[in-house]
Amino acid sequence: MPPSTAKNLSLIAAIDLGSNSFHMVVAKANQGEIRILERLGEKVQLAAGIDDERQLSEESMQRGLDCLKRFAQLINGMPSGAVRIVGTNALREARNRNEFIHRAEEILGHPVEVISGREEARLIYLGVSHTLADTPGKRLVADIGGGSTEFIIGQRFEPLLRESLQMGCVSFTQRYFKDGKITPARYAQAYTAARLEIMSIEHALHRLKWDEAIGSSGTIRAIGLALKAGGHGNGEVNAEGLAWLKRKLMKLGDVDKIDFEGLKPDRRAIFPAGLAILEAIFDALELQRMDHCEGALREGVLYDLLGRHHHEDVRERTLSSLMDRYHVDLEQAARVERKALSALEQVAKAWDLEDDLYRELLSWAAKVHEVGLDIAHYHYHKHGAYLIEHSDLAGFSREDQQMLALLVRGHRRNIPKDKFAEFGDEGVKLIRLCVLLRFAILFHHIRGTQEMPQPVLTADGNNLDILFPDGWLENNQLTQADFGLEAEWLTRVGIVLSVR
């Protein structure tokens, strides 16, 4: 999870680890706007290296890592928090993604986040909306990627609907055009598969309606350029042109014979699959025209990164919405948050928790630790953890949600040590954060605004000492009993708690 502050934000960078291509943009940030200084992109086709058991092949990983070695030179020396790297569908699908992520982080020196399909859709829309004119009407945005296709309907800078479907030009090429042969039967299979995928969302899209359709992927740009070269428009995609291009493709019969003007050679193999998906989109959504936009995921990542540094963090809005939906006691959440952060300040140096990301994570966990109460009181910490891990939370990566869910899961009763261990060395720090969250919750076990003391916390290795004012614990025996039980729970994760 990238920190929210950087020492120097004159330069920011975003890297998009897509299923088909890896892209990087480096930009200069100035008063909330960005000016692109450098763009790099390479066809890696990570999705093509995923086998039937959802394992990334060593060959495909190496293609990606070789590309990242070239990218790394441009971000060398950039501070933590100024670079954001996101992985999309191929890394969502691959079971051995952690191996690739670890090797990528060693090369780049910055954390890699794997984002959900709907989070990818949000970031795509953010990139598109900042690239196009700020018009008042609704937009439909479609982005055909290598492994997934995202659909968004939005107005100005706000997405109203976000969806992600499991169809992409690389995955469909592997399934229907693997040997490069193009036949009407194979094309029809790809088209039908895409129509079946779209069926699940087309009613919701039609219900919202839109004023213009925008395509933001390389596939849509390539098809638009092929149509322009054939005299069917000026770079936009239109229904008549798609029918013409499909007929032309069928006559060729083989991807090696594709030679449309403006089409890069490395895009030929995935062109038929991309065309089948786009034709299915046009038919399902009854489109006549789709314009192309250069802004996409990577630009969206840049603007999202910039927002985090200018106190416009979408993650805060997301959690506020979650708290509202599950009727969280806001006053209690605020009390717990203040006490947890106060405790963190006292032990951050001793427990190696000085990075801003730990403060953010603890703050978020304090806010949402009671979301599960709206489901049931029994095991509500487990209900809350499930909701946080499996909900679509805008602005959060999968790892963000897993860490946040783990803190909520461990905020009472037994701390699942094995789950924390899955985070490796970071798991020790997460346990320490969990201990601080539990302290704040116990401290405010008796809800209310009564005056409370200011205990002093001291940490040393696995030891945590809490010193209350003389005589206070003896006069507040429920709190004393709470901390007595807490000391027993913490011994299970190797923490020695002393309360005086």
What distances in angstroms separate CA 320 from CA 49, 83, 329, 365, one per listed residue?
Answer: 40, 26, 12, 12
**Superfamily for domain range 321-499:** Hypothetical protein af1432 (1.10.3210.10)
Instruction: Report the candidate in 422, 263, 438, 468 with the shortest Cα–Cα distance to residue 344.
Output: 438
Quote the CA–CA distance of 396 and 64 in Å, as a whole number: 24
What gap in Å lies between CA 6 and CA 24, rounded to an integer?
Answer: 19
Bridge-partner residues for 164, per DSSP? 150
Residues 178, 184, 187, 193: is their CA dihedral positive or negative? negative
3.40.50.300, 3.20.20.70, 3.30.420.40, 2.40.10.120: which CATH number matches 11-115+299-306?
3.30.420.40
Every domain range in the chain assigned CATH 3.30.420.40: 11-115+299-306
Please tell me the distance from the alpha carbon of residue 483 to that of residue 264, in angstroms, as a whole number: 66
Identify residue 157 by its one-letter amino acid code: F
Lowest mean pLDDT across 53-67, 295-309, 423-437, 486-500: 295-309
Question: Which residue in 304, 150, 288 sits closest to 216, CA to CA?
Answer: 150
pLDDT (0 to 100) of residue 9: 60
Closest CA to 117 of 397, 384, 320, 312: 397
Highest-pLDDT range among 127-141, 196-210, 449-463: 196-210
Residue 310 banded pLDDT, cuts 50, 70, 90 = low
- Per-residue confidence (pLDDT) for residue 4, from 0 to 100: 43
> ∠ CA(445), CA(447), CA(453), 5° rounding?
70
Portions of the chain given CATH number 1.10.3210.10:
321-499
Which tens digit of pLDDT belongs to each residue from 90-105? 999 999 999 999 999 9
User: In this predicted structure, what is the pLDDT of residue 264?
Assistant: 83
Local structure of residue 181 (DSSP, 8 states): B
pLDDT of residue 398: 84
- Mean local confidence (pLDDT), 62-85: 93
Check residue 428 and give its pLDDT.
Answer: 93
Q: What is the DSSP string of 190-242?
A: HHHHHHHHHHHHHHHHHHH--SEEEE-SHHHHHHHHHHHHTTS-SS-EEHHHH
Whether the pLDDT of residue 126 is over 50: the answer is yes
Contact 128, 214 (CB under 8 A): yes
Residue 1 has pLDDT above 60, yes or no: no
Average pLDDT over residues 273-281: 97
Within 10 Å of residue 346's Cβ, how many Cβ atoms? 16
- Examine the pLDDT at 266 and tell me if it is beyond 90: no
C-beta neighbour count of 429 within 10 angstroms: 18
Residues 153/159, Cβ–Cβ less than 8 Å? yes
- The secondary element (H helix, E strand) that includes residue 154 is strand 149-155
Residue 122 — φ and ψ, nearest 5°?
-60, -45
Separation of alpha carbons 82 and 12, rounded Å? 5
In this structure, are residues 332 and 350 in contact, taking their beta carbons and an 8 Å threshold? Answer: no
Confidence of residue 3 (pLDDT cuts 50, 70, 90): very low
Q: Are 43 and 28 a contacting pair, CB within 8 Å? A: no
Mean pLDDT computed over 293-307: 88
Burial class (CB in 10 A: 0-12, 13-18, 19+), 425: exposed
Structure-token match 């489109």, residue found: 287
**How many whole angstroms separate alpha carbon 388 and alpha carbon 408?**
9
Q: Which band of pLDDT confidence, cut at 50, 70 and 90, is reported for residue 317? A: confident
- List pLDDT tens digits, range 382-399: 999 999 999 888 888 888
Mean pLDDT of the chain: 91
How far is residue 283's CA from residue 278's CA, in Å, rounded to a whole number?
9
Specify the pLDDT at position 133.
Answer: 77
Instruction: Classify 133-292 by CATH class.
Output: alpha beta
For residues 215 and 221, the answer to whether their CB atoms sit within 8 Å is yes
pLDDT tens-digit map of 8-44: 467 899 999 999 899 999 999 876 678 889 999 999 9
Count of CB atoms situated within 10 Å of the CB of 418:
7
Q: Is the pLDDT of residue 81 over 90?
A: no
